[in-house]
Amino acid sequence: MTAPAPLLPLDRETRLALGLASPAFLILAALFILPLALLLAVSLQGAEGLSLAAYAKLLGTPHYLKIIWNSLSLALIVTGISLLIGYPASFAIARAKGHWRSLMLACLFLPLAASVIVKAFAWTILLRSTGIVNQTLLFLGIIDQPIRMIFTETALVVGAVNIFLPFMVLPIFSVVAQFDRRLSEAAATLGANPLQAFLKVILPVTMPGVIAGVALVFSLSVSAYVVPTLLIGERFPTLASTIAKSYLLTREEAFGAASGVVLLAIAVAVVMLSARFGREGRR
Amino acid sequence: MNRIGLLIAWAMAISACIFLLAPLLVIAAASFSPTPVFDLPTGGASLRWYQRIGTLDGFWPALGLSLQLALVSTLVSLVLGTAAAIAIVRGRLPGAEAFAAALTSPLMMPGLVLGIALLQAFRGVGLSNPWTSLFLAHLVITLPYVARTMIAGMTRFDFTLIEAALTLGCTYRQSVIKVMLPALAPSFLVAGLFSFLASFDNYPVSIFLTDVRSKTLPIKMLQYIEEAPDPTIAALSSLILLGTILLLVLADRFVGLSRMAGTNEQE
């Protein structure tokens, strides 16, 4: 008796690997790729068959273009500020030794692990007119009377930077921690001034971390929902709040789906751009 | 690095630490507020808000549902993600690199988009049970965290150790249980931690899959904050924070924060 011939001419190890990978692959296909394809189909659904009406409404009316711009500008500002704080901070954390480094890493991990809702709620307390920020500014004589901060753009940016900053610091830190300090010393020995050493040696070497951090913070903040909801509310509609509203309140699902596809396209574009720049950086 | 650069770096790092910790400290302080308006406890701390957490409308079922979802989805993801990681790192898997990238891609995915996509899909196949929908959704949320950490962990694992164990007389099963699993324990712990927290804190995906009777804790919390923010919510937030700190301390003891931050340095 001969064994039945296998369906595919695969050796035992390949079949074992396929077997191990298939449950995760099926989950990915059935619960991620197919639903996204379905979402695209729903976004193209009009009253009578295929239609681009939802996209025309989203990309053709000033009101909704403003909403897309709100999401993009929030992400740009939050990413920029996070980079300005996070880049130098990563160097200090990487240079720190022993307990200092553990302490500073704990300062990153604890907020990172803490619930987003809890942190956003804390900012609503901090920024209210009788809150600590106002009290401190009054005490320091910077302002004469409490200023309105909650439900303003400032509150939104402060809260969002607070929540997304660790995602900027960690990738940069992990690159800087492996950075050989002797490189910049060598540059100095060879006659480079500090600025040249920074631009020609330190910046290019740490670029992969910067690109990873920027991509992460941008894609997280462009789709943020909880932070804008609690810190600014309906005054500042975003793509994310438009999606939620279309599905949960107004039941305009084709429009909500189209907004989702546009948000997804932005996120995918960021990932692809960062992968591309990452490759070029390594060259 | 020159002195001015270093000075800027330290100033930024210290202000960043204070800035990042500020909301957590404020929540903890407000939870002891003697009055219902978030006064800082200058006169006398009060524990009454902690006693009132249990009386929040719908709190216990929401906590139960969130814990169940986080635990079950993390456990299933750990098994499936580890199997996939073995196949990717060790097996002869066609297209392993593309598969690894695909497995971690939901991490970069806007949560709300995944939420509405799953809502459409579940409706399409007639799945209306909220527990099953939420569980499947949380599987997609947690699997990428596990896959990413386990792929990195396995890449670092020295598989010749298994051959060494076999040479020394272990059976294959023993060598996996006695050599490979302990060496990968830190990866399991980190994967489980991030996966649990990602599920427990998820709002943007869950919001589309719940019904009136089954709401997860984050959904309930946002509702409490929007309806009637009082120090009871701060007390609840502080307890969640305390739980998170305990998990992190545990992870730090077994893994070390530096390694969790993704550096390969030896400490």
Q: Determine, yes or no, domain membership for B111.
A: yes
- B27/A125 touch (CB, cutoff 8 Å), yes or no: yes
Contacts of A270 in chain B (CB under 8 A): 108
Nearest to B140 among A31, A85, A90 (CB): A31
What DSSP string describes A111-157? HHHS-HHHHHHHHHHHTSTTSHHHHHHHHTTS-SSPPP-TTSHHHHH
- A169/B16 touch (CB, cutoff 8 Å), yes or no: yes
List the beta bridge partners of residue A50. A45
Rounded-to-integer distance, Cα B141 and Cα B8, Å: 38
Q: Determine, yes or no, domain membership for B112.
A: yes
Q: Determine, yes or no, domain membership for B188.
A: yes
- B145 to chain A, minimum CA–CA distance in Å? 13
Q: What pLDDT is recorded for position A281?
A: 58
- Do B239 and B152 lie in one domain? The reply is no
* Torsion sign (Cα): A23, A28, A33, A39: positive
Delineate the domains of chain A, giving CATH numbers in brackets.
Answer: 51-282 (1.10.3720.10)
Rounded-to-integer distance, Cα A92 and Cα B7, Å: 9
User: B250 and chain A: CB distance < 8 Å anywhere?
Assistant: no
Tokens of A215: 């991509």
The residue written with tokens 């709620």 in the block is A121
User: Residue B143: which domain range?
Assistant: 60-214
Contacts of B218 in chain A (CB under 8 A): 115, 117
Tokens of B59: 């709190």
C-alpha distances in Å from residue A275, one per residue of A208, A214, A272, B145: 10, 12, 5, 19
C-alpha distances in Å from residue A104, one per residue of A89, A175, A176, B220: 10, 16, 15, 32
Question: B50: Cβ–Cβ under 8 A, 6 or more apart, which residues?
Answer: B31, B235, B239
In degrees and rounded to multiples of 5, residue A162 shows phi and psi of: -60, -40
- Do B238 and B210 lie in one domain? The reply is no
- Do B197 and B79 lie in one domain? The reply is yes
User: B90 and chain A: CB distance < 8 Å anywhere?
Assistant: yes
Q: What pLDDT is recorded for position B11?
A: 93
Angle CA A170–A176–A178, to nearest 5: 110
Give this prediction's pTM.
0.89
Q: What pLDDT is recorded for position B267?
A: 31
User: For residue A34, what is the nearest residue in chain B, using CA coordinates?
Assistant: B121
User: Alpha-carbon dihedral of residues B152, B156, B162, B163, nearest 10 degrees?
Assistant: 130
Rounded-to-integer distance, Cα B109 and Cα A265, Å: 10
User: For residue B17, what is the nearest residue in chain A, using CA coordinates?
Assistant: A107
CATH, residue B74: 1.10.3720.10
- Do B89 and B188 lie in one domain? The reply is yes
- A226/B258 touch (CB, cutoff 8 Å), yes or no: no
Q: Determine, yes or no, domain membership for B123.
A: yes
Query: Which stretches of chain B score pLDDT less than 50?
Result: 263-267
- Go through chain A and tell me how many residues it has: 283
Question: A232: Cβ–Cβ under 8 A, 6 or more apart, which residues?
Answer: A151, A152, A153, A155, A156
- B257/A162 touch (CB, cutoff 8 Å), yes or no: no
- Do B54 and B64 lie in one domain? The reply is no
- A238 to chain B, minimum CA–CA distance in Å? 12
Each residue's pLDDT tens digit in chain A (283 positions)? 455 555 555 677 788 888 889 999 999 999 999 999 999 999 998 888 889 999 999 999 999 999 999 999 999 999 999 999 999 999 999 888 888 888 898 899 899 989 999 999 999 988 887 777 888 888 888 888 888 888 899 999 999 999 999 999 999 998 988 877 777 778 878 888 878 888 888 888 899 999 999 999 999 999 999 999 999 989 999 999 999 999 999 999 999 999 999 999 999 999 889 888 877 755 4
- pLDDT single digits (tens) B50-95: 888 888 888 999 999 999 999 999 999 999 999 999 899 887 788 8
Domain total in chain B: 2
- B120/A248 touch (CB, cutoff 8 Å), yes or no: no
For residue A50, give the 3-state DSSP assignment. Answer: strand
Identify the H or E element spanning A49: strand A49-50
User: B128 and chain A: CB distance < 8 Å anywhere?
Assistant: no
